[in-house]
Amino acid sequence: MTMDSNSNGRRHIVVVGGGFAGLNFVKHIDTRFYDITLVDSHNYHSFPPLFYQVASAGLDPASICFPLRRELRKLKTPCVRFHMGHVDCIDVSARTVRTDHDTLAYDILVIAAGSTNNFFNMPELEKSVYTIKSTPEALRCRNDILGLLERAAVEKDAAVRRRMLRFVVVGGGPAGVEIAGAIGEMKRYILPREYPSIPQEEMSITLIEGSPKLLGAMGEKSSRDAYDGLRSLMVDVRLGMGMKSYADNRVTLADGSVMDASMVIWTAGVTARPLEFINGGEVARGHGNRLVTDGYCRLTGQGDIYAIGDIAIMPEADTAFPNGHPQLAQVAIQQGRLVARNLNSQARGGQVSTFRYKDKGSMATIGRNRAVVDMKKLHMSGFSAWLVWMFVHLISLLGMRNKLTVLINWIWAYFNYSTSLRLLIRPGRWPRRDLWQE
Q: Rounded to two decimals, what is the model's pTM? A: 0.91
pLDDT at 320: 77
Q: How many whole angstroms separate alpha carbon 257 and alpha carbon 415?
A: 41
CATH code for the domain defined by 123-268+361-416: 3.50.50.100
pLDDT at 2: 41
Q: How many whole angstroms separate alpha carbon 112 and alpha carbon 20?
A: 8
pLDDT at 417: 64
CATH class in words for 11-41+85-118+271-347: alpha beta
List average pLDDT for each run of 10 residues in the chain, which is 438 residues long.
54 97 97 96 94 92 93 93 94 94 95 94 92 94 95 95 96 95 93 93 96 92 95 95 91 91 94 92 90 93 92 85 87 96 95 92 90 90 93 90 88 71 76 60
- Cβ atoms of residues 54 and 142 within 8 Å: yes
What is the residue type of 34? Y
Sign of the torsion angle spanned by Cα atoms 288, 294, 300, 303: positive
Numbered ranges of CATH 3.50.50.60 in the chain: 11-41+85-118+271-347
| Neighbour-count burial for 316-342, b at 16+ CB within 10 Å, e otherwise | ebbeeeeebbebbbbbbbbbbbbbbbb
Numbered ranges of CATH 3.50.50.100 in the chain: 123-268+361-416
